[in-house]
Chain A
Amino acid sequence: MTSANPDGRIADNIVYFARALRKAGMRVGPASVKDAIEAVLVAGIGSRDDFYWVLHSVLVMRHEDHAVFDEAFRLFWKSRELVEKLIAMFSPVAPDKREKQKPRAAESRVSDAMFEGHKRNQPVNPEPDIEIDARFTVSGAEVLRAKDFAQMTAAEINQAKRAIAELKLPFDKTKTRRFKPDPHGSRIDPRAMMRAASRTGGELILPKFKSLREIHPPLVVLADISGSMSQYTRIFLHFLHALADKRRRVHTFVFGTRLTNLTRQMRHRDPDQAMADCSAAVQDWSGGTRIGDTLHEFNRLWSRRVLGQGAIVLLITDGLERDEIDGLSEEIERLHKSCRRLIWLNPLLRFDGFEPRARGVRTMLPHVDEFRAVHNLAALTDLVASLDKSTSRQADPRRWLELGKKRAA
């Protein structure tokens, strides 16, 4: 460590603190560090609490980061245990002998960031790699597992881009309340008229027209990554990444036994990096399914944040729900009512003679707008093709419901 200037120690410490926050995953740029120092100068250093909130107001930009900041502040800005901290940092093994409290939110991330160098010296326990193919089986049990995807080849990337470029979702345009100049428009555009008129000195005031601008509505994707769907996961993620690259407002969620928001991870331009980030963020690859619970979580925590402005929801799941389906009906109904259009993509539909017998499928079917098959999920083009613009009778969920009834009777 460099020796600090006796007058400017607090500024140095803020810089170190910001660096720790950055390592813990918060977005703290150099500008925020400058702002933080400025803010401390303006407010002065009063109580510990004031200092906390002064730094908080400048360095925390998202509500989710509050926990990280809180934990980092607690660890960083305390002088009493500084010696212990330093010992922990420099000794190879420093077992924590204090009574272990319940882990706070973000604790592990923050301490990872602070004791980064220390951890590197410790031997890593090699964990055996277990891959279980669990297609066609359903379980409600939560299995936490990491997943490694093969890298995407250049050919695949190109293919994906081409496929996405051709993708035309049904009902994929929504009117905004903004206008664009349009000679065949139905509304008068006075601003353009006056501008044109002033060019001729007011001798000619010709009418100009405008019409409503149309945009792609936000797309929210909820993809099932449980064991029964595991063989399709890679294709989904590539599809979603290519989609997020092409369109601006795509929110990506994956669920098995828990719901994970992958929107930020997907924004990474490099698909391999994005896949790596995703696989690090998700903890329940190829585990069980709890559709009802995860939909409940989505409805409660996310629906109001991502389903605005006429969003279309793409639900990718086989609908095989192991748990009791009590809550499922209400949750899928709420989801249906809070979005503009709910499209269900079911890979099981490709099998001949598919009947919606599974209770989960029967519960969810009445509440979706479209029920679509994915014929061969080995290639991304097929996924895109199954999302074509036509809303044929094929996609009508009622058809499948009737089919199930007839056979059952």
Chain B
Amino acid sequence: MTINKPRPAPNSIDETLAMLTGEDYVADRALATVLYLSLKMKRPLFLEGEAGVGKTEIAKVLASGLGRRLIRLQCYEGLDVSSAVYEWNYAAQMIEIRMEEAAGKVDRKDMEKNVFSEKYLIRRPVLEALTGKDGAAPVFLIDELDRTDEAFEAFLLEILSDYQVTVPELGTIKAEEPPIVIITTNRTREIHDALKRRCLYHWVDYPNAERELEIVNRKVPQANKRLSEEVVRFVQKLREIELFKVPGVAETIDWASALTELDKVALDPETVSDTIGVLLKYQDDIARIEQGEGRRILKEVKADLATAAE
């Protein structure tokens, strides 16, 4: 990815909205407001929402919109300091020790300084995120925080309050300018209030029909106009019934492009049941839609579109 020249943060909610739209991210005003505030107040943004509503995308769009570097920390169970913050290059350190021994150096202080120098430091995402220069702080995406455990959350708390990390052998590393932090979670676990308190909170919801249609139009421009309208209405109706997992925006986009690849210009019952696997990922849900409920929804969608056209 080519890195554009860093741009300063937008100066109003409208500018923020324009920046998001310019990057093909169709946002509502609520999101633009909270994003603007987090940029201005230099507070981390805590995004919560179901899978596939475009949480991670916000960070990507922000990075390219502001021309900043995107540093991503994908969380997983057991994430620890050595894979999140820094690690020493042990093999190289041992060689260094052997070399100094062979050269006959005996000064302990000197050796310690050489062995634990920046040369052998492997920077991981957190440390990387703290190296932003003035006016060009990177976007630091902490993805799916709920996947990691409480221990890492507590560690994060420390970083997010001071934006500094202490490497015992080197000293404290402090960010010249704090990174733009975006935290996402899918709510598979409750995040502790102490961490949430330091952030601005936003619940990313499913978009309404109008906004979702615009998203599909932007992301799958080659899709037939009628097809995308039907797809969006169908998905919106699916979200109203009680499914184990309702489809997100990502699934809508996938479905629209899948149908376009199949050269479809409109939905019909066979196509829906053939491609429903793109939308729904649980067997119970699929069975339910195939057992007639899908046909009913499709009929409603067609009727709605017919009345809308009149």
User: Chain A: residues with CB nearer than 8 A to chain B?
Assistant: 27, 29, 31-32, 35, 38-39, 42-43, 46, 49-50, 53-54, 56-58, 60-63, 66, 176-179, 190-191, 193-194, 197-198, 201-202, 205, 248, 299-300, 304-306, 308-309, 330, 334
Contacts and interface: CB of A to CB of B under 8 A. Distances in A.
12 contacts: A42-B37, A54-B37, A57-B38, A60-B203, A61-B197, A63-B203, A178-B80, A191-B82, A194-B93, A197-B97, A198-B115, A304-B187
B189 A309 contact: yes
A57 B200 contact: yes
B40 A42 contact: yes
List 9 tightest A-B contacts by C-beta distance, closest first.
A177-B78, A57-B34, A53-B33, A202-B97, A201-B108, A190-B90, A53-B30, A63-B203, A57-B200
Nearest to B100: A202
A308 B189 contact: yes
Nearest to A201: B108
Contacts of B33: 43, 50, 53-54, 57
Contacts of B48: 63
Given A61-B197, A63-B187, 13 more contacts: A27-B193, A53-B29, A54-B37, A57-B200, A57-B202, A60-B203, A61-B201, A62-B196, A63-B48, A176-B78, A177-B77, A178-B151, A191-B87
B100 A176 contact: no
A191 B197 CA distance: 34
B190 A305 contact: yes
A174 B147 CA distance: 16
Given A194-B88, A201-B108, A202-B97, A38 B41 contact: yes
A117 to B, nearest CB: 29
Report which residue of B33, B76, B116, B151 has the largest number of chain A beta carbons within 10 angstroms of its beta carbon.
B33
Contacts of A54: 33, 37
Given A63-B48, A191-B82, A300-B242, A43 B37 contact: yes
Interface string B16-59: 00000000000001100110111011010000100000000000
A359 B77 CA distance: 40
Contacts of A202: 97, 100-101, 111, 115
A35 B37 CA distance: 11
B111 to A, nearest CB: 6
B184 to A, nearest CB: 14
Contact of B13 (A32, A46, A248, A305): A46
A60 B151 CA distance: 25
Contacts of B197: 29, 31-32, 61
A63 B53 CA distance: 15
Interface string B61-102: 000000000000000111010100001101001100100110
B78 A49 contact: no
B37 A305 contact: no
B284 interface: yes
A217 B121 CA distance: 35
